[in-house]
């Protein structure tokens, strides 16, 4: 909110800041109880193979349904939960819930697709992480080949030696690994030759600019070429138009995700769509 600063402009400014801080604290307090109050739920966004047009995965995305703070963007909520460490428990719930849902869809024979789960860097740093993964798979009886974990470039690159060990273990369990928002980090590309990654997800900012900006297009094309030579698949995020799809096809991108295919959907809605396929 822009306020005209009068003679006592400083006070108005301070009041706004105080208000913002107070509000943030109130949101945090609500978040501490959100898990037990069952206020979280997941929506799922399909990932489609560009050649076969089949759904090959669904990304689980967290949503928070709170009566007081209904419309806050989830990345802000996640940032707050990371600051408070709540994300570790919430992330475990996400993991289990996503596995449970995909197992249910597998049992109903609705398709041979994976479920992708976003991981916070804090979850990867958590000592109990591997056990939690194991527990989620055992509890839900989901075949590990149906689980894909999305980690960001920067979180893969901190304590890279530990991460390499961790990712190798996950791979040995049969779990798939993708690097989310690829291209936005500042890391060297050499790590790609060391980490056993299945998929790079090109950040949607490049896709968005691709049509008007030759540089963005060149970056995407370069990522695809590089990934191919490293035997890594590429998913383009944020595909919104037929033009995007056409260009990505011509560049031989493997998979797409975005509003052109579908927005993230509540499970019951996605399920009814899957039944019509």
For ligand C2E, the binding residues (CB under 6 A) are 45, 61-62, 73-75, 78, 91, 94, 118-120, 150, 180-181, 204, 237-240, 258-259, 264
Nearer to ligand C2E, 5 or 72 (CB): 72
The binder of 46, among ligand C2E, Mg ion, none, by C-beta within 5 to 8 A per type, is: none
The binder of 140, among Mg ion, ligand C2E, none, by C-beta within 5 to 8 A per type, is: none
The binder of 62, among Mg ion, ligand C2E, none, by C-beta within 5 to 8 A per type, is: ligand C2E
Nearer to Mg ion, 126 or 153 (CB): 153
The binder of 167, among Mg ion, ligand C2E, none, by C-beta within 5 to 8 A per type, is: none
* Shortest spacing between CB 114 and Mg ion, in angstroms: 13
Nearer to ligand C2E, 109 or 203 (CB): 203
Instruction: Locate 12 and state its tokens.
Output: 């108005």
CA distances from 171 to 30, 80, 115, 149 (A): 36, 30, 15, 10
The binder of 13, among ligand C2E, Mg ion, none, by C-beta within 5 to 8 A per type, is: none
DSSP string, the chain: ------TTHHHHHHHHHHHHHHHHHHHHHHHHHHTTTT-EEEEEEEEEETTT--EEEEEEEEEE--SSSTT--HHHHHHHHHHHTTHHHHHHHHHHHHHHHHHHHHHTT--S-EEEEE--HHHHH-TTHHHHHHHHHHHHT--GGGEEEEEEHHHHHTTHHHHHHHHHHHHHHT-EEEEEEETSS---TTHHHHS--SEEEE-HHHHHHTTT-HHHHHHHHHHHHHHHHTT-EEEE----SHHHHHHHHHTT--EE-STTT---B-HHHHHHHHHH-
Q: Which residues bind Mg ion (CB under 5 A)?
A: 118, 150, 180-181, 237
Q: Identify the burial level of 109 via C-beta atoms within 10 angstroms of its C-beta, where 0-12 means exposed, 13-18 middle and 19 or more buried.
A: exposed
The binder of 258, among Mg ion, ligand C2E, none, by C-beta within 5 to 8 A per type, is: ligand C2E
Nearer to Mg ion, 161 or 175 (CB): 175
Nearer to Mg ion, 30 or 80 (CB): 80
Nearer to ligand C2E, 57 or 264 (CB): 264
């Amino acid at each position: 909110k822009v306020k005209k600063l009068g003679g006592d402009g400083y006070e108005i400014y301070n009041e706004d800041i105080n208000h913002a801080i107070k509000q943030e604290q109130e949101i945090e307090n609500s978040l501490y109880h959100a898990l037990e109050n069952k206020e979280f739920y997941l929506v799922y966004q399909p990932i489609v193979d560009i050649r076969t047009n089949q759904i090959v995965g669904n990304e689980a995305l967290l949503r928070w349904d709170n009566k007081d703070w209904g419309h806050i963007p989830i990345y802000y909520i996640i940032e707050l939960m990371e600051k408070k460490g709540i994300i570790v428990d919430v992330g475990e719930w996400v993991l289990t819930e996503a596995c449970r849902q995909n197992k249910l869809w597998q049992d109903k024979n609705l398709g041979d697709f994976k479920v992708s789960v976003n991981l916070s860097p804090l979850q990867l740093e958590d000592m109990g992480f591997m056990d939690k993964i194991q527990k989620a798979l055992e509890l839900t009886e989901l075949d590990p080949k149906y689980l894909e974990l999305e980690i960001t470039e920067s979180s893969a690159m901190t304590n890279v030696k530990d991460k390499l060990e961790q990712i190798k273990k996950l791979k040995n369990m049969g779990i798939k690994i993708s690097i989310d928002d690829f291209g936005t980090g500042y890391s060297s590309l050499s790590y790609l030759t060391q980490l056993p990654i299945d998929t790079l997800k090109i950040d949607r900012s490049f896709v968005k600019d691709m049509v008007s900006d030759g540089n963005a297009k060149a970056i995407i094309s370069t990522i695809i070429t590089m990934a191919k030579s490293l035997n890594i698949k590429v998913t383009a995020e944020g595909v919104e138009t037929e033009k995007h799809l056409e260009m990505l096809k011509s560049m031989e991108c493997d998979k797409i995700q975005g509003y052109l295919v579908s927005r993230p959907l509540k499970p019951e809605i996605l399920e009814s769509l899957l039944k019509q396929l």
